[in-house]
Structure 1
């Protein structure tokens, strides 16, 4: 080897060593970044209505209005149900009176009256039988008198014996049955007042006074604002870094300088290849798992806002 070629070879070796060193320095000096995934704030839609239906008498809401759980939204007519309630209370009173009478048993004056009726009917039976025997009256009249005397004698026997336990039990059961009917009517009466079951925002409402609402018809759709979440998709390679209950940080595009707290509520048990918020072909070919992140309640947040979720873990190095 000539003396001129030795310096060139030495330089080439030095350059090669420097290039390899630079590669490995860059490869291992790059720290993995936090896993940050994008999504949209979502909320549960709740449909409220009435089990009984009826004509609308009052509306107290409109679309976009904030409502609280238990707040009255719509009232329905109560004329028919109020009349049924009145009649049912009267039925209960009658059943209770019958039960009290059965428990007390027959009064002495009732027994005396029944005895007098029985004696009179027996006298009449004998008279009609005598007249029939001599051909003065028809056979039917004698038989009718005999039937009447037998019935009044049985009535007297029952009164003298007193009320049977079975009769008292039947009267008590009737009272309970009538009370159950009243409870059912009272629940139906409550259904004429449609209330919100959640804190939220009225998303859909179009009823007016006079409209007819069918049983189980949706009266209003409410977007539950007290519990928002973000659905993100975690690559399979990062799945082992997260767990249910793990705290996360949520960033909202509308509030770029603020951070909102949340936690991982659930992780899908089955992977998928085509989540809704993945755009590129390469990403669609990657196995991912859906993760639901609950965001702590905050009046600033609304469903539909773009969000980024910082899972608080470092992505695996390449």
Structure 2
């Protein structure tokens, strides 16, 4: 090879080396620029507590830790004899109120009316007898008063004769004794009249009550009474509904589709209202928390669509959306970066995972591409 050809070959090799170097330098710069939009974070999920609204002992736990549950699925049962008894009493109250309403709506039987008519007639006869007794007591009082007046005159005349010396002392004493007896007879007659008048008034009151009841049986219940009976039925039913709600609160159910993270109590343990009996992971609400420098904030905004990847989920790009951007800066969390990086100020970003929720698990590491 002559010298001229050697120079040409050298130039060609130099150009080739420069081209190759430029390619790798450009690729490195491009990869570096691309990697500046990628940030890593761990998938997390919201947790929901299944809490008790009542007090009592845990009678049964229906799920296990790690098991999947559907919304509305029974998680645990709180035992409560009191709420069960209240429900039974409410059922009895409904039946009683419905029976009373039925009686009013059906009206009264002819046998009840006839029986009440007999009661009215009985008190009518008692009133007549009472009136006769009162009349007889009045006559007795009049006779007693007449006799008293007569004995009073005899006594006065005997005293006058005694004072004039025409009558003996024993005659005065005898007249006074007759007068006292006549006075007692008057008092007894007055008491008998008062007693017979009181008895007559009692008979009249009973007659009025019996007559009113007979009229009610004949005429039937008023609209107000019917409405009142219907109100009692409605009230009993509302009481039953409240008792049933209280009993249903003893059944603790899942409010979301998810996975049982922990069972916080054992069967037989006592719980109070607000006690978290179990904790569920909301598998339909997964998100990744990442931290970006201030320079990246100009490239992102709320509701921006991004992509996520995981080393163990091959050939899949998962869609995500930015749902939160922290308004304040903080030091980079200590558990994911070096000591040097911990001194940097970053902003927390929350990215919601939108698809492939069936394969994404809480705790997985994801790379989030914000570009």
Normalising by the residue count of structure 1, what TM-score does the alignment of the two structures yield? 0.74
Identify the match of residue 290 of structure 1 among 349, 354, 359.
349
1:58 aligned residue (60, 73, 79): 60
> Which of the residues 180, 204, 207 maps onto 1:146?
204
The CA distance in 1 between the partners of 2:286 and 2:223, in whole Å, is 62
What's the TM-score once normalised by structure 2's chain length?
A: 0.65
Match of 1:157 among 215, 239, 255: 215
1:193 correspondence with 2:195 = no
Distance apart, 1:90 and its partner CA? 2.1
Aligned to 2:321: 264
Aligned mates of 2:255, 2:324 — CA distance in 1: 28
Aligned residues: 282
- SS of the residue 2:344 aligns to: helix
Larger radius of gyration between Structure 1 and Structure 2: 2
Against the structure 1 CA distance between its residues 117 and 297, is the aligned structure 2 distance closer, same or farther, given a 3 Å change threshold?
farther
Match of 1:274 in 2: 330
Q: Which has the higher helix share?
A: 2
Measured against aligned partners, the alpha-carbon deviations of 1:80-123 in whole angstroms (never above 9, x if no partner) come to 43333333222212212222222333333333322222222232
Query: Within the alignment, does 1:170 sit opposite 2:222 as a pair?
Result: no
Q: Would you say the 8 A contact 2:285–2:352 is kept in 1? A: no
1:10 is aligned to none
* d(CA) in 2 for partners of 1:244, 1:168: 64
Is the 8 Å Cα contact of residues 128 and 142 (structure 1) preserved in structure 2? yes
Distance 1:97 1:282, change over 3 A: same
The 1:281/1:231 distance shift into structure 2, 3 A limit, reads: closer
Asked if the contact 2:332–2:344 (Cα under 8 Å) also holds between the matched residues in 1, the reply is no
Counterpart for residue 33 of structure 1: 34
Contact 2:71 2:253 in 1 (8 A): yes
Deviates more, 1:289-298 or 1:66-75: 289-298
Counterpart Cα distance in 2 of 1:116 and 1:50: 62
Alignment partner of 2:330: what SS?
coil
Q: 1:261 to 1:73 in 2, by over 3 A?
A: same
Deviation at 1:295, TM superposition (A): 4.4
Q: 1:154 to 1:234 in 2, by over 3 A?
A: farther
Shift of 1:229: 0.7
Distance 1:59 1:124, change over 3 A: same
Contact 2:258 2:282 in 1 (8 A): yes
Deviation at residue 53 of structure 1 after TM alignment? 3.3
The whole-number CA distance in structure 2 between the counterparts of 1:115 and 1:276 is 97
Gaps spanning 5+ residues in structure 1: where?
1-25, 314-318
SS, match of residue 267 in structure 1:
strand
Shift in CA distance, 142/223, structure 1 to aligned 2, threshold 3 Å: same
Tell me by how many angstroms 1:240 deviates. 5.2
Q: Secondary structure at the match of 1:201?
A: strand
- Higher normalized strand content (fraction of residues): 1
Does structure 2 retain, via aligned residues, the 8 Å contact 1:260–1:296? no
Distance (whole Å) between structure 2 residues aligned to residue 256 and residue 139 of structure 1: 107
Q: Which structure 2 segments of 5+ residues have no match?
A: 1-24, 138-191
